[in-house]
Structure 1
């Protein structure tokens, strides 16, 4: 997988989203974004789908869901997150700004 460029952010198609919609075949997913206090921890692995309580947060901050990738894509995604100008880096920055999981 090559790093996606910032221009790809406007594209409604995200290759990971199609896999998330398919019936689970014991696919393992990993969250590559920053910690979100009380919501998500970096490098959390999910099997058999994603927790339902995250859905409202995915709507408010799409970067959260976009940074949950099949575990096979983890090394490439982790590198892309560190490269300015990639879609993954922009999503990471969006998640840093999102405080939906913070407790008041």
Structure 2
């Protein structure tokens, strides 16, 4: 990922994917959303701003998955930060 993506920018991009760890009752990892994100996830991103950075446009998904698989990069760092809080 070459640019930082905020939740609002990601939502404007159309289909977005949550790449963070699954959060029971809120979101499952790699769930795609079209036309915005559900209220539960939206509320969670307001409480924990790191979650918003883990919502990426669909076209950025392969790079996000690569970072998680290789355990390096911005997405992996954010993932680990969220994992420690849930």
1:19 aligns with 2:9: yes
Q: How many residues align?
A: 85
Root-mean-square deviation (CA, aligned residues, Å) is: 2.2
Q: CA deviation at 1:64?
A: 1.5
For 1:21-70, what per-residue CA distance to the aligned partner results, in whole angstroms no more than 9, with x for missing partners?
64x6xx11111111111111011110001122323311332222111111
TM-score (norm 2): 0.78
CA radius of gyration, larger in: 1
Q: Return the alpha-carbon distance in structure 2 between the equivalents of residues 72 and 21 of structure 1.
A: 13
Q: Larger helix proportion, structure 1 or 2?
A: 2
Mapping of residues 47-86 of structure 1, within 5 Å: 47-86=34-73
1:97 aligns with 2:71: no
Name stretches of at least 5 consecutive residues in structure 1 with no aligned partner: 3-13, 100-104
Name stretches of at least 5 consecutive residues in structure 2 with no aligned partner: none
TM-score (norm 1): 0.66
SS, match of residue 16 in structure 1? coil
